[in-house]
Structure 1
Amino acid sequence: MGKLIYSGLTSLDGYIADATGDIDWAAPDDEVHAFVNDLQRSLGTYLFGRRMYEVMSWWETLDLEGAPEVARDFAEVWRVADKVVYSSTLAEPVTERTRIERTFDPDTVRRMKDSADADLSVGGANLAASAIRAGLVDEFQQFLTPIIVGGGLRFLPDDVRVDLELLDEHRFTNGVVFVRYGLR
Protein backbone atom coordinates (compact mmCIF):
# COMPACT_ATOMS: atom_id res chain seq x y z
CA MET A 1 0.00 0.00 0.00
CA GLY A 2 1.34 3.40 -0.94
CA LYS A 3 0.91 6.76 0.74
CA LEU A 4 -0.37 9.80 -1.15
CA ILE A 5 2.05 12.67 -0.54
CA TYR A 6 1.49 16.35 -1.26
CA SER A 7 4.74 18.27 -1.49
CA GLY A 8 5.60 21.76 -2.63
CA LEU A 9 7.94 24.72 -2.46
CA THR A 10 5.99 27.64 -1.03
CA SER A 11 6.36 31.18 0.16
CA LEU A 12 6.28 31.74 3.91
CA ASP A 13 2.70 32.96 3.53
CA GLY A 14 1.65 29.71 1.85
CA TYR A 15 1.63 30.33 -1.90
CA ILE A 16 3.10 28.13 -4.63
CA ALA A 17 2.84 30.92 -7.21
CA ASP A 18 2.53 34.66 -6.68
CA ALA A 19 -0.33 36.82 -7.96
CA THR A 20 1.25 37.05 -11.43
CA GLY A 21 1.82 33.28 -11.62
CA ASP A 22 5.56 33.60 -11.06
CA ILE A 23 7.32 30.69 -9.33
CA ASP A 24 10.94 31.70 -9.96
CA TRP A 25 11.34 32.82 -6.34
CA ALA A 26 10.87 29.18 -5.27
CA ALA A 27 13.58 27.70 -7.49
CA PRO A 28 15.62 25.41 -5.25
CA ASP A 29 19.37 25.72 -4.92
CA ASP A 30 21.49 22.56 -5.22
CA GLU A 31 21.19 21.70 -1.52
CA VAL A 32 17.38 21.90 -1.51
CA HIS A 33 17.14 20.24 -4.93
CA ALA A 34 19.21 17.25 -3.77
CA PHE A 35 16.93 16.90 -0.72
CA VAL A 36 13.84 17.02 -2.96
CA ASN A 37 15.39 14.36 -5.20
CA ASP A 38 15.91 12.06 -2.24
CA LEU A 39 12.28 12.48 -1.18
CA GLN A 40 11.04 11.79 -4.72
CA ARG A 41 12.90 8.47 -5.02
CA SER A 42 10.19 6.67 -3.04
CA LEU A 43 7.53 7.67 -5.57
CA GLY A 44 6.17 5.29 -8.15
CA THR A 45 3.39 7.50 -9.50
CA TYR A 46 2.76 11.23 -9.89
CA LEU A 47 -0.83 12.50 -10.02
CA PHE A 48 -0.95 15.87 -11.77
CA GLY A 49 -3.43 18.49 -12.77
CA ARG A 50 -2.94 19.66 -16.35
CA ARG A 51 -1.07 22.88 -15.55
CA MET A 52 1.38 21.23 -13.15
CA TYR A 53 1.94 18.44 -15.70
CA GLU A 54 2.72 21.00 -18.39
CA VAL A 55 5.25 22.69 -16.08
CA MET A 56 6.88 19.41 -15.10
CA SER A 57 6.86 17.69 -18.50
CA TRP A 58 9.98 19.52 -19.67
CA TRP A 59 11.99 17.14 -17.44
CA GLU A 60 11.19 14.46 -20.03
CA THR A 61 13.04 16.15 -22.89
CA LEU A 62 15.50 18.33 -21.02
CA ASP A 63 18.95 18.22 -22.61
CA LEU A 64 21.05 17.07 -19.69
CA GLU A 65 24.40 17.68 -21.40
CA GLY A 66 26.29 19.90 -19.00
CA ALA A 67 23.35 20.15 -16.59
CA PRO A 68 24.10 20.15 -12.85
CA GLU A 69 24.13 16.71 -11.21
CA VAL A 70 20.99 17.52 -9.17
CA ALA A 71 19.07 18.28 -12.38
CA ARG A 72 20.26 15.07 -14.05
CA ASP A 73 19.31 13.12 -10.93
CA PHE A 74 15.81 14.61 -10.78
CA ALA A 75 15.25 14.02 -14.49
CA GLU A 76 15.99 10.32 -13.96
CA VAL A 77 13.61 10.14 -10.98
CA TRP A 78 10.91 11.87 -13.06
CA ARG A 79 11.37 9.72 -16.15
CA VAL A 80 11.07 6.34 -14.42
CA ALA A 81 7.87 7.20 -12.52
CA ASP A 82 4.35 6.70 -13.85
CA LYS A 83 2.24 9.79 -14.36
CA VAL A 84 -1.52 10.24 -14.27
CA VAL A 85 -2.78 13.59 -15.57
CA TYR A 86 -6.29 14.78 -14.72
CA SER A 87 -7.49 16.96 -17.56
CA SER A 88 -10.67 17.41 -19.55
CA THR A 89 -8.80 19.30 -22.28
CA LEU A 90 -5.43 17.61 -22.80
CA ALA A 91 -5.67 15.46 -25.93
CA GLU A 92 -2.75 13.15 -25.26
CA PRO A 93 0.31 12.97 -23.04
CA VAL A 94 3.63 14.45 -24.16
CA THR A 95 5.69 12.23 -21.85
CA GLU A 96 6.33 8.52 -21.52
CA ARG A 97 4.67 6.39 -18.83
CA THR A 98 1.71 8.81 -18.76
CA ARG A 99 -2.02 8.37 -19.02
CA ILE A 100 -4.83 10.94 -19.08
CA GLU A 101 -7.87 10.71 -16.82
CA ARG A 102 -10.76 13.03 -17.65
CA THR A 103 -12.10 13.35 -14.10
CA PHE A 104 -10.72 12.96 -10.60
CA ASP A 105 -12.38 10.01 -8.88
CA PRO A 106 -11.46 9.57 -5.20
CA ASP A 107 -12.39 5.88 -5.21
CA THR A 108 -10.05 5.20 -8.12
CA VAL A 109 -7.22 6.97 -6.28
CA ARG A 110 -7.95 4.94 -3.15
CA ARG A 111 -7.63 1.76 -5.20
CA MET A 112 -4.39 3.05 -6.70
CA LYS A 113 -3.00 3.65 -3.20
CA ASP A 114 -4.17 0.25 -1.97
CA SER A 115 -2.49 -1.60 -4.85
CA ALA A 116 0.68 0.52 -5.08
CA ASP A 117 4.15 -0.88 -4.44
CA ALA A 118 5.49 2.65 -3.93
CA ASP A 119 4.20 5.99 -2.73
CA LEU A 120 2.19 8.37 -4.91
CA SER A 121 2.48 12.13 -5.14
CA VAL A 122 -0.23 14.64 -5.96
CA GLY A 123 0.88 17.81 -7.75
CA GLY A 124 -1.03 20.94 -8.56
CA ALA A 125 -2.89 22.97 -5.98
CA ASN A 126 -6.37 22.40 -7.38
CA LEU A 127 -5.96 18.64 -7.77
CA ALA A 128 -4.33 18.44 -4.34
CA ALA A 129 -7.25 20.37 -2.83
CA SER A 130 -9.64 17.75 -4.23
CA ALA A 131 -7.50 14.95 -2.81
CA ILE A 132 -7.25 16.69 0.58
CA ARG A 133 -11.01 17.25 0.72
CA ALA A 134 -11.56 13.55 -0.12
CA GLY A 135 -9.28 12.54 2.77
CA LEU A 136 -6.75 10.90 0.44
CA VAL A 137 -3.55 12.76 1.36
CA ASP A 138 -1.50 10.89 3.96
CA GLU A 139 1.49 13.21 4.18
CA PHE A 140 2.20 16.89 3.61
CA GLN A 141 5.70 18.09 2.74
CA GLN A 142 6.26 21.83 2.57
CA PHE A 143 9.42 23.75 1.75
CA LEU A 144 8.99 27.22 3.25
CA THR A 145 10.94 29.71 1.15
CA PRO A 146 12.01 32.91 2.94
CA ILE A 147 9.77 35.25 0.97
CA ILE A 148 6.29 36.69 1.45
CA VAL A 149 4.48 37.14 -1.86
CA GLY A 150 1.18 38.49 -0.55
CA GLY A 151 -1.18 36.51 -2.77
CA GLY A 152 -1.47 34.07 -5.61
CA LEU A 153 -2.12 30.34 -5.80
CA ARG A 154 -2.43 28.85 -2.32
CA PHE A 155 -0.64 25.61 -1.44
CA LEU A 156 -3.50 24.47 0.83
CA PRO A 157 -7.24 24.94 0.43
CA ASP A 158 -9.10 27.25 2.83
CA ASP A 159 -12.18 25.11 3.34
CA VAL A 160 -10.86 21.97 5.01
CA ARG A 161 -9.49 20.90 8.38
CA VAL A 162 -6.91 18.12 8.76
CA ASP A 163 -5.28 17.33 12.12
CA LEU A 164 -1.58 16.64 11.64
CA GLU A 165 1.52 15.62 13.55
CA LEU A 166 5.04 16.77 12.78
CA LEU A 167 7.15 13.90 11.40
CA ASP A 168 10.30 15.74 10.36
CA GLU A 169 11.86 19.15 9.78
CA HIS A 170 15.08 20.35 8.21
CA ARG A 171 16.76 23.75 7.84
CA PHE A 172 18.84 24.64 4.80
CA THR A 173 21.70 27.12 4.58
CA ASN A 174 19.71 29.36 2.19
CA GLY A 175 16.95 29.89 4.79
CA VAL A 176 14.46 27.36 3.39
CA VAL A 177 12.79 25.22 6.04
CA PHE A 178 11.31 21.80 5.23
CA VAL A 179 8.41 20.46 7.32
CA ARG A 180 6.81 17.05 6.95
CA TYR A 181 3.47 16.24 8.54
CA GLY A 182 1.40 13.06 8.70
CA LEU A 183 -2.20 12.51 9.68
CA ARG A 184 -2.86 12.48 13.39
Structure 2
Amino acid sequence: MADLIYFINASLDGYIADEDGNFDWSEPSEDAYAFFNDLQRSVGTFLCGRRMYESMRVWDTFVLDDLPEVQREFAEAWRDTDKVVYSSTLDAVPEPRTRLERTFDPEVVQTMKDKADRDLQIGGAGLATEAIRAGLVDRYALRVIPTIVGGGTRALPDAARIDLTLDTTRRFDDGSVLVDYSLR
Protein backbone atom coordinates (compact mmCIF):
# COMPACT_ATOMS: atom_id res chain seq x y z
CA MET A 1 0.00 0.00 0.00
CA ALA A 2 1.22 3.48 -0.87
CA ASP A 3 1.15 6.53 1.37
CA LEU A 4 -0.94 9.62 0.68
CA ILE A 5 1.33 12.61 1.27
CA TYR A 6 0.10 16.12 1.90
CA PHE A 7 3.03 18.31 0.88
CA ILE A 8 2.52 22.04 0.99
CA ASN A 9 4.43 25.31 1.27
CA ALA A 10 3.15 27.25 4.27
CA SER A 11 3.93 30.60 5.82
CA LEU A 12 5.19 30.63 9.40
CA ASP A 13 1.67 31.51 10.52
CA GLY A 14 0.17 28.56 8.64
CA TYR A 15 -1.16 29.85 5.32
CA ILE A 16 -0.57 28.58 1.78
CA ALA A 17 -1.78 31.80 0.18
CA ASP A 18 -2.33 35.29 1.54
CA GLU A 19 -5.70 37.07 1.70
CA ASP A 20 -5.39 38.08 -1.98
CA GLY A 21 -4.61 34.49 -3.05
CA ASN A 22 -0.91 35.24 -3.64
CA PHE A 23 1.79 32.72 -2.84
CA ASP A 24 4.76 34.42 -4.53
CA TRP A 25 6.41 34.62 -1.10
CA SER A 26 6.95 30.84 -1.26
CA GLU A 27 9.20 30.75 -4.35
CA PRO A 28 11.70 27.94 -3.68
CA SER A 29 15.46 28.14 -3.96
CA GLU A 30 17.37 25.64 -6.08
CA ASP A 31 18.02 23.63 -2.93
CA ALA A 32 14.28 23.40 -2.18
CA TYR A 33 13.51 22.66 -5.84
CA ALA A 34 15.92 19.72 -5.71
CA PHE A 35 13.95 18.33 -2.78
CA PHE A 36 10.66 18.85 -4.68
CA ASN A 37 12.16 16.95 -7.62
CA ASP A 38 13.05 13.95 -5.45
CA LEU A 39 9.60 13.96 -3.87
CA GLN A 40 7.84 14.27 -7.23
CA ARG A 41 9.82 11.32 -8.63
CA SER A 42 8.50 9.16 -5.78
CA VAL A 43 4.86 10.06 -6.52
CA GLY A 44 2.80 8.05 -8.97
CA THR A 45 -0.46 10.01 -8.66
CA PHE A 46 -1.16 13.63 -7.71
CA LEU A 47 -4.64 14.50 -6.43
CA CYS A 48 -5.67 18.15 -6.60
CA GLY A 49 -8.57 20.54 -6.65
CA ARG A 50 -9.31 23.04 -9.38
CA ARG A 51 -7.19 25.91 -8.05
CA MET A 52 -4.12 23.74 -7.50
CA TYR A 53 -4.61 22.22 -10.95
CA GLU A 54 -4.77 25.67 -12.52
CA SER A 55 -1.53 26.64 -10.75
CA MET A 56 0.33 23.45 -11.64
CA ARG A 57 -0.84 22.77 -15.20
CA VAL A 58 1.82 25.09 -16.65
CA TRP A 59 4.41 22.38 -15.91
CA ASP A 60 2.85 20.35 -18.74
CA THR A 61 3.27 23.22 -21.21
CA PHE A 62 6.75 24.66 -20.60
CA VAL A 63 9.35 24.08 -23.29
CA LEU A 64 11.85 22.01 -21.32
CA ASP A 65 14.94 23.44 -23.00
CA ASP A 66 13.88 26.94 -21.87
CA LEU A 67 13.92 26.01 -18.17
CA PRO A 68 16.83 26.03 -15.73
CA GLU A 69 17.99 22.47 -15.03
CA VAL A 70 16.35 22.14 -11.60
CA GLN A 71 13.00 23.33 -12.99
CA ARG A 72 13.33 21.10 -16.06
CA GLU A 73 13.84 18.12 -13.75
CA PHE A 74 10.65 19.03 -11.88
CA ALA A 75 8.70 19.41 -15.13
CA GLU A 76 9.91 16.00 -16.30
CA ALA A 77 8.91 14.37 -13.00
CA TRP A 78 5.55 16.19 -13.07
CA ARG A 79 4.84 14.96 -16.60
CA ASP A 80 5.61 11.41 -15.45
CA THR A 81 2.93 11.67 -12.74
CA ASP A 82 -0.74 10.76 -13.17
CA LYS A 83 -3.05 13.57 -12.08
CA VAL A 84 -6.61 13.44 -10.75
CA VAL A 85 -8.40 16.80 -10.68
CA TYR A 86 -11.47 17.15 -8.49
CA SER A 87 -13.78 19.85 -9.82
CA SER A 88 -17.47 20.35 -10.36
CA THR A 89 -16.87 23.43 -12.53
CA LEU A 90 -14.22 22.40 -15.09
CA ASP A 91 -15.44 21.00 -18.40
CA ALA A 92 -12.24 19.14 -19.25
CA VAL A 93 -8.60 18.63 -18.31
CA PRO A 94 -6.69 18.33 -21.61
CA GLU A 95 -3.21 17.65 -20.24
CA PRO A 96 -1.72 14.17 -20.68
CA ARG A 97 -2.03 11.71 -17.78
CA THR A 98 -4.77 13.87 -16.24
CA ARG A 99 -8.35 12.91 -15.49
CA LEU A 100 -11.31 14.79 -14.07
CA GLU A 101 -13.46 13.61 -11.16
CA ARG A 102 -16.56 15.53 -10.12
CA THR A 103 -16.53 14.53 -6.45
CA PHE A 104 -14.01 13.37 -3.88
CA ASP A 105 -14.88 9.83 -2.79
CA PRO A 106 -12.76 8.62 0.17
CA GLU A 107 -13.41 4.95 -0.68
CA VAL A 108 -12.10 5.43 -4.22
CA VAL A 109 -8.98 7.17 -2.89
CA GLN A 110 -8.42 4.37 -0.37
CA THR A 111 -8.62 1.85 -3.21
CA MET A 112 -6.11 3.92 -5.18
CA LYS A 113 -3.74 3.82 -2.18
CA ASP A 114 -4.24 0.08 -1.73
CA LYS A 115 -3.40 -0.66 -5.39
CA ALA A 116 -0.59 1.86 -5.93
CA ASP A 117 3.05 0.88 -6.17
CA ARG A 118 4.18 4.52 -5.75
CA ASP A 119 3.03 7.12 -3.24
CA LEU A 120 0.16 9.50 -3.90
CA GLN A 121 0.32 13.21 -3.16
CA ILE A 122 -2.55 15.56 -2.46
CA GLY A 123 -2.36 19.28 -3.10
CA GLY A 124 -4.63 22.14 -2.23
CA ALA A 125 -5.96 22.96 1.19
CA GLY A 126 -9.63 22.32 0.45
CA LEU A 127 -9.13 18.87 -1.03
CA ALA A 128 -6.53 17.98 1.61
CA THR A 129 -9.04 18.92 4.31
CA GLU A 130 -11.48 16.35 2.91
CA ALA A 131 -8.75 13.68 2.84
CA ILE A 132 -7.54 14.58 6.34
CA ARG A 133 -11.04 14.39 7.78
CA ALA A 134 -11.56 11.03 6.04
CA GLY A 135 -8.37 9.71 7.68
CA LEU A 136 -6.60 9.15 4.36
CA VAL A 137 -3.44 11.26 4.76
CA ASP A 138 -0.44 9.25 5.96
CA ARG A 139 2.27 11.92 5.82
CA TYR A 140 2.28 15.67 6.37
CA ALA A 141 5.27 17.37 4.77
CA LEU A 142 5.28 21.13 5.21
CA ARG A 143 7.92 23.47 3.91
CA VAL A 144 7.64 26.36 6.35
CA ILE A 145 8.54 29.69 4.77
CA PRO A 146 10.02 32.42 7.00
CA THR A 147 7.20 34.82 6.15
CA ILE A 148 4.11 35.87 8.10
CA VAL A 149 1.19 36.76 5.82
CA GLY A 150 -1.48 37.45 8.46
CA GLY A 151 -4.37 35.62 6.84
CA GLY A 152 -5.55 33.79 3.76
CA THR A 153 -5.92 30.11 2.94
CA ARG A 154 -4.99 27.93 5.90
CA ALA A 155 -2.62 25.03 5.25
CA LEU A 156 -4.29 22.74 7.78
CA PRO A 157 -7.95 22.40 8.72
CA ASP A 158 -9.53 23.61 11.92
CA ALA A 159 -11.15 21.07 14.24
CA ALA A 160 -8.94 18.15 13.22
CA ARG A 161 -6.99 16.20 15.86
CA ILE A 162 -4.25 13.96 14.48
CA ASP A 163 -1.29 12.70 16.48
CA LEU A 164 1.92 12.64 14.47
CA THR A 165 5.53 11.55 14.72
CA LEU A 166 8.33 13.73 13.35
CA ASP A 167 10.25 11.77 10.72
CA THR A 168 12.45 14.37 9.05
CA THR A 169 13.53 17.96 9.28
CA ARG A 170 15.65 19.82 6.79
CA ARG A 171 16.75 23.42 6.47
CA PHE A 172 16.97 24.81 2.94
CA ASP A 173 19.39 27.51 1.86
CA ASP A 174 16.52 30.00 1.45
CA GLY A 175 15.79 29.79 5.20
CA SER A 176 12.71 27.61 4.81
CA VAL A 177 12.43 24.40 6.82
CA LEU A 178 10.87 21.07 5.93
CA VAL A 179 8.99 19.26 8.68
CA ASP A 180 7.82 15.81 7.62
CA TYR A 181 5.45 13.90 9.93
CA SER A 182 3.72 10.53 9.72
CA LEU A 183 0.79 9.16 11.68
CA ARG A 184 1.61 8.02 15.18
Please tell me the TM-score bracket, short chain as reference.
over 0.9
Give, in whole Å, the separation in 1 of the partners of 2:3 and 2:110: 10
1:172 positional shift: 1.5
8 Å contact from structure 1 (residues 57, 94) kept in 2? no
- d(CA) in 2 for partners of 1:94 and 1:80? 15
Distance 2:173 2:33 in 1: 13
Deviations 1:119-171 (A, max 9, x none): 00001100000000000000000001100000000110012110000000001
- Where structure 2 has 5 or more consecutive residues not aligned to the other structure, the ranges are none
For 1:175 and 1:97, the matched residues in 2 are separated by 34
CA distance in 1, matches of 2:168, 2:70: 22
- 1:173 CA drift (Å): 2.1
Q: Give the equivalent residue in structure 1 for 2:60.
A: 60
TM-aligned CA deviation for residue 36 of structure 1: 1.2
Pair 1:33 & 2:33 matched: yes
CA distance in 1, matches of 2:79, 2:21: 26
The corresponding residue for 2:183 is: 183
> Residue type of the partner of 2:81?
A
SS in 2 for 1:88: coil
User: Between Structure 1 and Structure 2, how many residues are aligned?
Assistant: 184
Q: Following TM superposition, by how much is the alpha carbon of 1:58 offset from its aligned partner in structure 2, in angstroms?
A: 0.4
Could you tell me which amino acid in structure 1 is paired with residue 170 of structure 2?
A: H
CA contact (8 A) 1:144 1:177 kept: yes
Match of 2:117 in 1: 117
> What's the secondary structure of 1:94's corresponding residue?
coil
Cα deviations by residue, 1:38-71 (Å, 9 ceiling, x for unpaired): 1121100000101100110000001222311111
Quote the residue 2:78 is aligned against. Answer: 78
Q: CA-to-partner distance for each residue in 1:62-83, whole Å, 9 max, x for gaps?
A: 1222311111000001001101
Q: Which whole-Å CA distance do the structure 1 matches of 2:98 and 2:66 have between them?
A: 27
In 1, distance between residues paired with 2:93 and 2:167?
A: 35
Q: 1:109 Cα shift? A: 0.3
When normalised by structure 1's length, the TM-score is: 0.98
Quote how far apart the aligned CAs of 1:7 are.
0.2
Aligned CA RMSD, in angstroms, stands at 0.7
Amino acid at match of 1:161: R
Query: What is the alpha-carbon distance in structure 1 between the residues aligned to residue 163 and residue 135 of structure 2?
Result: 11
Equivalents in 2 of 1:158, 1:168: separation in Å?
A: 24
Contact 1:164–1:181 (CA under 8 A) maintained in structure 2? yes
Give the secondary-structure state (helix, strand or coil) at the position aligned to 1:41.
Answer: helix
Alignment TM-score, normalising by the size of structure 2:
0.98
1:152 alignment counterpart:
152
- Percent of aligned pairs with the same residue? 58
Alpha-carbon contact 1:93-1:100 (below 8 Å) kept: yes
Q: Does 1:13 align with 2:13?
A: yes
